[in-house]
Amino acid sequence: MKQMKNKKKVKQNKKTYYYIGTIILIAVLCYLLFMFYNLKNFSSDINKKDNEGLTVLMHLLSDNNSNKNEIKKLILDNRKKIDYTLKDSNGRNILMYAVFYGDSDIIKDIAKQIDNINEKDNDGRTALHLAAQYGKYEAVATLVELGADINIKDNLSLKPIDIAEFEGFEEIYNYLQSKSN
């Protein structure tokens, strides 16, 4: 009798996980459709912000599942329309979002369009700080190659190397250490 109850529980648990998985899948698909719709129908205002201060491009760059070629095409097609000075509600600019995405070609392309590669967000962090925080080695190397200052401190007096050490990103720490000598 006890074995029957356990089998029923297992079946119920499997059904529950199946339903939860289905709901998550539907939510992800809805999100992707929403992003695709916004990408195709942003009209002529690529700089329009949502409630969090994010543009369509910022949303795409913050989603690692976004198609790299679509992002590059969007940037290329709208190079003169994109306002590279826009910031979200946290003071983060488009370069910082490119760092989240982590592609060096996109980072280089956007960095060419901005005035200050060392611009800070509301926490005093630069794109290099964020690359170190999120373990984006390629982004760190690209930013340093483009002239990002490795000695800038954030509002907590932390340099990018301090953040890499704290987060346990040894490769980034060693790279920044080699550049500070």
Query: What CA–CA distance (Å, rounded) separates 53 from 28?
Result: 22
Task: Give 71-105 pLDDT, tens digit per residue.
Answer: 999 999 998 999 999 999 999 999 999 999 999 99
Domain boundaries, the chain: 1-41, 42-179
Q: What is the pTM of this model?
A: 0.75
Read off the pLDDT of each residue in 125-129 and give the average, rounded to a whole number.
98
Read off the pLDDT of each residue in 138-145 and give the average, rounded to a whole number.
98
Is the predicted pLDDT of residue 174 greater than 90, yes or no? yes
Read off the pLDDT of each residue in 99-119 and give the average, rounded to a whole number.
95
Tell me the pLDDT band of 20, cut-offs 50, 70 and 90: confident
Q: What is the pLDDT of residue 86?
A: 95
Topology (CATH) of 42-179: 1.25.40
